[in-house]
Amino acid sequence: MIKSTKEDNVIIGVKKDEFRNNENAIEKLTEDVRKKYPFSLTVKHIIELTGYSQATVYRMLECGEIPGAKKVMGWRVPRDVFLAWWLADGVGVDEVI
């Protein structure tokens, strides 16, 4: 299990401010996530990647802030869509949830 904390804005061992506008770090992050996670992410995966609480992730999915779809077996978020959302400017940095 990959541990990350919201306080540190860490995802896969890389601080968010370290990879913002740094193509090499973004490529490494994307490659690492693609190797370690399935194509379709679950709520559990998103919690591991972001460090957000379960309640926060569900709230963000329900309101559409995290792009995803509610299926019979729970929420699913395409991995690459999640990465694009996470790496978008302003997401996760100085963010209050």
- Token code pair at residue 28: 């490494």
The token duo for 15 is 């601080």
User: For the chain, which residues make up each domain, given as ranges?
Assistant: 10-87
> Tokens for 16?
């968010």
> In the predicted model, what is the mean pLDDT of the chain?
78
Q: Give me Rg for the CA atoms of the chain.
A: 13
- Return the pLDDT at 56: 94
d(CA 2, CA 74): 21
The proportion of the chain whose per-residue pLDDT surpasses 70, expressed as a percent, equals: 69
Q: How far apart are CA 96 and CA 36, in angstroms?
A: 28
**How much is the pTM?**
0.71
- Is residue 9 predicted with pLDDT exceeding 60? no
Q: What is the pLDDT of residue 1?
A: 35
Please give the Cα distance from 81 to 97 (Å, whole number). 20
Domain at 10-87: CATH architecture: Orthogonal Bundle (1.10)
